[in-house]
Structure 1
């Protein structure tokens, strides 16, 4: 009859491509049981439900264990446990119950940052994660319209209760002040509003909070970086040189605030002609990936310029939910998986090393 050691030995051949270690030493294999009849049961616990290699891990683990002499059947349960970030800052600085806060920023407006943020949040939720979405774009809150939510959040025990849309918990200044009201606020008022949306909201337990920042390098970004421990920031840009140069400045600003750059996202990367089916790179091609390599940050992927993304946003639906099989939705899901993978890597690398004598 096979032993537990036999099972762990064969499974140690599976290496996590991002963490660079085998899944057994990473503690991903749990609850190994073996019956007298040779049936092996175990749990494979991923670091994120949005793991980009989930299917490959599942099939490889099943095949390896099934190949052990004496194994008659394999019961494999795939789960995920998002580890909270460790960043050296006290727990009082964090939002209770929120494991990771991921900012989505851009150097300038008009690059599709909010559309990306909404679909990233929805993609992570579709994978099985608990996700919140904070619209911190005080002067131009567009998240409510993209999710089709317009009600005013209720207050419970002196805290706001987020609205829910597509499984996401959502708060936006547009829900509090009115969708048509212009926010003519100076910097201190912007900072205070963001602090309140972070701390005076009943967010509950979340694996990820996605924060849609306003474009640029102003008060909102500074407040967010200083108020809570950010897991990292993903910067959205388009391929043309003018937009990319400003995006790089935004990334460098976050580096100066000791916020980890999760990487660059290239939006509006290509367009497919309806008539000829040819792929066109309207705003140039390859600049964002080359810039990511030069800056030493991950290139998180590219998203096409696609009418379906805009059409679904206009009617209040993330394209990854309403048209999941389209090329735009698939590209957005891949970007979300890449971000989740980077967050997992960062969580492992930031864990303190404890020497036990």
Structure 2
């Protein structure tokens, strides 16, 4: 949506409008030859998640959480929703797991510790990655070059790359990777 609005224009849509935009994006975009299409969704179990689950052949979901209890409650609901609609949960990613002080190197778990691992264990899935709270990630992303592009040999980039390898392997093992995208249909109406 960022390409259709400017920085000051809010997108104030009710659920059906968002769902319609998602389906239009998925089915009426001339996607190149994709290996994967990753859809980053807001936390929760709302209209957009349900629409995606019901209308698009989804190979799997990755649950992203932060370690604090409140975020884990939302993540659990996400796992339960995907299980209810028969979409495999490929694993859990814990974001903002630890902060490393750039001055002294002290590691501090600002938002709690081990929440992603507990969630993964509870649901019998793998903890795919534990990402630090890092100013570099924020600055590189804000600058339009995510860490894997800006600093591909960094420790953080290696975490992202390993996570991507694990997700790709799980999708390949499930057999859902090839042909999962809907075909583009053009109507004369």
Same fold (TM over 0.5): yes
User: Contact conserved, 1:237 with 1:265, CA < 8 A, in 2?
Assistant: yes
Are residue 180 (structure 1) and residue 29 (structure 2) matched? no
User: Contact conserved, 1:306 with 1:328, CA < 8 A, in 2?
Assistant: no
Aligned 1:1-357 pairs, distance under 5 A: 173-347=1-175
User: Contact conserved, 1:269 with 1:285, CA < 8 A, in 2?
Assistant: yes
User: Contact conserved, 2:19 with 2:48, CA < 8 A, in 1?
Assistant: yes
User: Contact conserved, 1:302 with 1:335, CA < 8 A, in 2?
Assistant: no
Question: Equivalent residue of 1:258, what SS?
Answer: coil
Question: Equivalent residue of 1:208, what SS?
Answer: coil
User: Contact conserved, 1:312 with 1:319, CA < 8 A, in 2?
Assistant: yes
> TM-score, normalization: structure 1?
0.47
The separation in 1 between residues aligned to 2:129 and 2:50, in whole angstroms, is: 26
Q: Which has the larger radius of gyration?
A: 1
Q: From the superposition, tell whether residues 178 and 276 of structure 1 become closer, same or farther in structure 2 (CA, over 3 Å).
A: closer
Question: Equivalent residue of 1:194, what SS?
Answer: helix
The separation in 2 between residues aligned to 1:197 and 1:337, in whole angstroms, is: 26
The separation in 2 between residues aligned to 1:262 and 1:174, in whole angstroms, is: 28
1:282 to partner: Cα distance: 1.8
How many residues get paired?
176
The separation in 1 between residues aligned to 2:5 and 2:164, in whole angstroms, is: 30
1:278 to partner: Cα distance: 2.5
1:264 to partner: Cα distance: 0.8
The separation in 2 between residues aligned to 1:284 and 1:321, in whole angstroms, is: 29
In the alignment, structure 1 segments of 5+ residues that lack a partner are 1-172, 349-357
The separation in 1 between residues aligned to 2:5 and 2:23, in whole angstroms, is: 16
The separation in 2 between residues aligned to 1:255 and 1:180, in whole angstroms, is: 37
Task: Indicate the residue corresponding to 1:130 in structure 2.
Answer: none
Q: Write 1 or 2 for the structure with the bigger share of strand.
A: 1
1:198 to partner: Cα distance: 0.4
Task: Indicate the residue corresponding to 1:122 in structure 2.
Answer: none
The separation in 2 between residues aligned to 1:274 and 1:178, in whole angstroms, is: 34
Q: CA RMSD in A?
A: 1.5
The separation in 2 between residues aligned to 1:186 and 1:286, in whole angstroms, is: 36
In the alignment, structure 2 segments of 5+ residues that lack a partner are 177-189
1:176 to partner: Cα distance: 2.4
User: Contact conserved, 1:236 with 1:266, CA < 8 A, in 2?
Assistant: yes
User: Contact conserved, 2:43 with 2:75, CA < 8 A, in 1?
Assistant: no
Q: Which moved more, 1:269-278 or 1:240-249?
A: 269-278
The separation in 1 between residues aligned to 2:85 and 2:5, in whole angstroms, is: 30
1:238 to partner: Cα distance: 0.6
The separation in 2 between residues aligned to 1:176 and 1:306, in whole angstroms, is: 30
The separation in 2 between residues aligned to 1:278 and 1:325, in whole angstroms, is: 23
